[in-house]
Amino acid sequence: MDETIDFLKQKFSEYYKNNELIYPDRFGRREFGFMFFDREGMTRHIGFNTRNEIKSFLVKNAPMHVYYSSAYYEKPDAPTMAQKKWLGADLIFDLDADHIESAKGLAYEEMLNVVKKETLKLLENFILDDFGFDEKHVSVNFSGGRGYHIHVTDPKIFSLDSSARREIVDHVEGIGLDAEKTIFGRSYRAHDIDMGSRSNVKIVKMVDPTAGGWEGRFCRGMIKFAEEMEKISKEEAIKKLSSYIKKKTAKKIAEGIYEDLFGVRAGDRGIDKIKKGNIDIFSRDVHLTTFSDIVLNREKVTITNRSGGKADEPVTSDIKRLIRMNSSLHGKTGLKVMPVKIDELKKFNPLNDAIVFSDELVNVEIVKPVKISMCKKNFNLKKGENTVPEFLGIFLIGRGLGVKK
């Protein structure tokens, strides 16, 4: 094991020595934190005054993980938050395979693709559209591990407190969306508007698919989903719809929704009405709520880790969280944490593009067979000792799949 650790430390140190690093802006005001290969826990509350100091530290200590605070402080190296004196913080979104239900149990490469899709959704629909941030204030970084980080450095967000940032999280995740009022309309008591025998009357309003925020997004999401249903056979559509519904009566509800969307009632079909902004097409309330639920889930982005029945405080609303430094190495993959240009994100493949180590051959002993494509080559490794390129060797060791031989 010692040999493995020495090997990794030596390789990491060489990397830090021989490469240009990207230093966070205002690094003198940030707290740094590190984890090491040969020590437990995190070393925090470290401050640096010059780029050289950071570089020398990395070369000398070859840490496993390198972090800095999204916040900046008057005294970044003070031991307590009160003494540090918070001045402001960047806005960070952390998209990790851990947080995304549909990424569970996938192979590393597929998992990264699922996360990338979510990242693009967050970026295009929320960060650039709803929030209107300028691309020059937005950077997308591959985390070196299982996801992407989006950093927003628009000065307008620096001073937002944690509750304001939580509102941003809730917006992105569609939490607290009052669809009845915001999107569909309002219900009135019968005695308010004298509607005779029915006790509750729902007034459904026409919505504008081009409207900003959730109103338009919701309407567009409904249209998009309905159109997808329209393209496939009725049978498939009902199967797909039912797959979203976690109820005993799933099939019946799915059939009802399908009928509401595509059955002809007084001229227009439901889907045609939705396209005109009229979403009053559902014959039963449960159809409306179920369909809404599905659309909401398709349109929102999950950034809170809710696995295990607990919801972690998301990075976004935590104003003193540490995040990975760009151009540092992720100790569990040997991949580089790196910025990805927004228009290159779609074709970005970390297993080609974030590799820093050479193809010099090394021997590793691995604990189970591994199939992976890295650096445009396919590897099919059997259990036991293998000779592989250095980048793959480090990746396998980091992932706990092997040791140096």
Per CB under 8 A, the list member of 18, 41, 80, 132 interacting with another protein is: 132
Does 98 sit near another protein (CB under 8 A)?
no
Task: Scan for tokens 């900046």, then name that residue.
Answer: 72
Closest to another protein by CB, 50 or 159: 159
Binding span for another protein by CB under 8 A among 3-11, 155-163, 254-262, 394-402: 155-163
Binding span for another protein by CB under 8 A among 44-52, 285-293, 346-354, 371-379: 285-293
Per CB under 8 A, the list member of 89, 115, 168, 362 interacting with another protein is: 168
Stretch (H or E) spanning 185:
strand 185-189
Closest to another protein by CB, 156 or 382: 156
Structure tokens at 12: 């990491």
Name the packing angle between helices 234-244 and 285-299 (round to 10°): 80
Q: Contacts with another protein: how many residues (CB under 8 A)?
A: 45
Q: Which amino acid would we find at residue 34?
A: F
Task: Scan for tokens 């159109």, then name that residue.
Answer: 227
DSSP designation for 209: T
DSSP designation for 317: G
Structure tokens at 172: 């992105």
Say whether 129 is catalytic: no
Does 109 sit near another protein (CB under 8 A)?
no
Does 278 sit near another protein (CB under 8 A)?
no
DSSP string, 351-378: HHHT--S---EEEEEESS-EEEEETTEE
Per CB under 8 A, the list member of 313, 344, 359, 385 interacting with another protein is: 313
Q: Let me know if 181 is exposed, middle or buried by CB neighbors in 10 A (0-12, 13-18, 19+).
A: exposed
Three-class SS state of 211: coil
Does 188 sit near another protein (CB under 8 A)?
no
Per CB under 8 A, the list member of 69, 304, 327, 328 interacting with another protein is: 304
Any bridge partners for residue 385, and if so which?
A: 365
Per CB under 8 A, the list member of 184, 214, 282, 357 interacting with another protein is: 214
* Active-site annotation holder among 25, 38, 161, 312: 312
Contacts 24+ apart (CB under 8 A), 81-86: 81/320, 84/31, 86/319, 86/320
Per CB under 8 A, the list member of 41, 52, 136, 176 interacting with another protein is: 176
Per CB under 8 A, the list member of 311, 361, 363, 387 interacting with another protein is: 311
Q: What residues are annotated to the active site? A: 94, 96, 312
Residues lying near another protein in the complex (CB under 8 A):
129-133, 156-157, 159-164, 166-168, 170-171, 174-182, 211-215, 286, 289, 292-293, 296, 304, 306, 309-313, 317
